[in-house]
Copies of this chain bind each other. A is one copy, B any other.
Amino acid sequence: MLNKIFLLLFLQLSILGTTHGGKILIWPVEGSHWLNIQIIIDELIKKEHNVTVLVASGALFITPTSKSSLTFEIYKVPFGKDRIEEVIKNFVLTWLTHRPSPATIWRFYQEMAVVIQDFHTVCREICDSVLQNPKLMERLKKGNFEVLISDPVFPCGDIIALKLGIPFMYSLRFSPASTVEKHCGKVPYPPSYVPAVLSELTDQMSFADRIRNFISYHLQDYMFDTLWSSWDSYYSKALGKPTTLCETMGKAEIWLIRTYWDFEFPRPYLPNFEFVGGLHCKPAKPLPKVLWRYKGQKPATLGANTRLYDWIPQNDLLGHPKTKAFITHGGTNGLYEAIYHGIPMVGVPMFADQPDNIAHMKAKGAAVDVNMNTMTSADLLNALKAVINDPSYKENAMRLSAIHHDQPVKPLDRAVFWIEFVMRHKGAKHLRPAAHDLTWLQYHSLDVIGFLLVCVATALFLVTKCCLFSCKKLGKRGKKKKRE
């Protein structure tokens, strides 16, 4: 009996025991995505985990640094940094040139399709470089990793996890039309009040807005389906069985979403989605003096009261008590630093989620936007004056800040908790909705509705037939009687 009790106690302790010294594999994405995941990596290392980052030899922003408990596993790819730089440059320039609007959406789609297909070519070359490198795969297998953290913007991490037989989870800001979250993650997105990403709409939509939103979802869905569909055969081949990108992505244990309800409009989600926006934010350190970041040639018209620096500590600057406003391109990372410190914003959005991000802050009364393509210096000045002099902007920024700070557990701690949870329990299957086992038709109950309609139609048909038959009989009898 005592043996059994000890066995159970051991079982319970081994499941619930604190997670230290775990082994975690990271499949990173370039740019701001890397900045964000770095914060998680640092925290994991603080908690005594060993983290390995898979880095392509041609990576642009992901610079291997030497740290104990942090390994950069560099694998060779058949291109250099210039190739990645070219892809990113083309992406940004194409977006800026053909900024999507209801009138130009088709042209935008056509131009972006070329860039995205090029991006996918690079992605596939990178993925091949790992999967077709038996020595690397063997080393990874021997690494006994317990979880892989990936970003679905850059496919392949999920394939590597499945090949290694370990659970994986995602860190994600958004996908076009939320297609990945919706179709692969099974999150419902009612188009009546959840604005489509990239639409710049809010949750307060007029009838015309709702029509635009409805079309936006379907148009972006179509774009995603056509542009990402080539991955299905790649995934099937890599995993050695017929599958799709979406089916594989649906196997993610936990989705760490890089926003929170201070920024998002409330909408449905699933228990394996965790909103950890602003996990990189922290209190400000004291500043040395007034600062200005600018890389490049000094403009001749620059005023004497403006200084240029290569790099500035943005977070410390936003947390300084004298900071009155934040002129921002609207990236999620910077925007969250402004929310954290309660600073109203002037948004000059450029591409990707930036126009959307600023639209969110505008709707919440904490920002004014100016159009980068058409703005004059007077526009910028007026916008700045508005957010500085109209107290509502500061009040709303402070309200968002209060919401951000008032959570039961800090975003970074929640992100790390769920990573460790997946390691402790070898997954989080209890949070996985059964929707993953249904086809599209079944998920929407269309087979059930169809069946019930056929039943009703059959019943109506039979009743009508019976009635007609009875009427005829009665009619005939009546005629017979009349004749008699």
Contacts and interface: CB of A to CB of B under 8 A. Distances in A.
Interface in A303-319: none
A432 to B, nearest CB: 6
Contact of A270 (B266, B435, B445): B266
B444 A192 contact: yes
For this chain, the copies found in one complex come to 2
B190 A432 contact: no
A203 interface: yes
A214 B448 contact: yes
A448 B398 contact: no
A: contact size bracket: 35 or more
A283 interface: no
Given A16-B406, A192-B444, A266 B261 contact: no
A192 B15 contact: no
A402 B211 contact: no
B261 A431 contact: yes
A387 to B, nearest CB: 15
A405 interface: yes
B192 A438 contact: yes
B434 A203 contact: yes
Given A16-B406, A188-B188, A268-B270, 13 more contacts: A12-B398, A190-B444, A191-B448, A193-B434, A193-B438, A193-B443, A210-B448, A211-B448, A211-B451, A261-B271, A266-B431, A266-B434, A403-B425
27 contacts: A1-B322, A11-B398, A12-B398, A15-B398, A15-B406, A16-B405, A192-B435, A192-B444, A192-B445, A192-B448, A193-B433, A204-B437, A207-B451, A210-B448, A261-B430, A266-B271, A266-B272, A266-B431, A266-B432, A268-B268, A403-B425, A403-B430, A406-B421, A406-B424, A406-B425, A408-B408, A408-B413
